[in-house]
């Protein structure tokens, strides 16, 4: 049985698509995310993120499990989460990001951006 002790829903709002794209390329596409926060959810806690991104007409949802407490490269306190893999979360995000990049930047540049994101199969590794 997983060590899940809690389930909580948090809202994230990105006022610019480019800010979301940066976070997506740096970590989300690879199946993890570091959230700056003072509250220390217990290890194993499952968090659901409802993500609103400027320019997208829907709220994105992704679930992650707390696997780390600590600081980021800038010394800010937070938690590290491993995101749930599969079509329902990271896979859906990839499709939405790819579609938006095509709309904004065209096929060629969108292809290059998505190549940076990788094959999308890293989330479970």
> All domains of the chain, ordered by start, with CATH?
7-117 (2.40.10.220)
How confident is the model at residue 7, as a pLDDT? 66
pLDDT value of position 120: 44
Predicted local distance difference test score (pLDDT) of residue 3: 45
Tens digit of pLDDT for each residue in 42-55?
999 999 989 999 99
Helix 17-26 × helix 107-117 angle, to 10°: 40
Query: Strand locations in 1-125, DSSP E?
Result: 7-14, 32-36, 46-53, 60-71, 77-83
Positive or negative, the CA dihedral 83, 23, 30, 76 is negative
Q: Which residues of the chain have pLDDT under 70?
A: 1-7, 86-88, 119-125
pLDDT of residue 54: 94
């Amino acid at each position: 049985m997983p060590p899940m002790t809690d389930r909580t829903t948090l809202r994230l709002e990105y006022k610019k698509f480019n800010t979301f794209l940066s976070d997506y390329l740096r970590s989300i596409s690879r199946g993890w995310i570091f959230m700056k926060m003072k509250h220390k959810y217990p290890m194993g806690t499952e968090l659901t993120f409802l993500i609103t991104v400027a320019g997208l007409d829907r709220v994105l949802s992704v679930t992650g499990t707390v696997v780390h407490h600590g600081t980021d490269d800038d010394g800010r306190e937070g938690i590290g989460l491993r995101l749930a893999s599969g079509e329902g979360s990271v896979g859906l995000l990839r499709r939405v990001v790819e579609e938006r990049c095509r709309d904004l930047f065209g096929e060629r540049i969108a292809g290059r951006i998505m190549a940076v994101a990788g094959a999308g199969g890293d989330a479970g590794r």
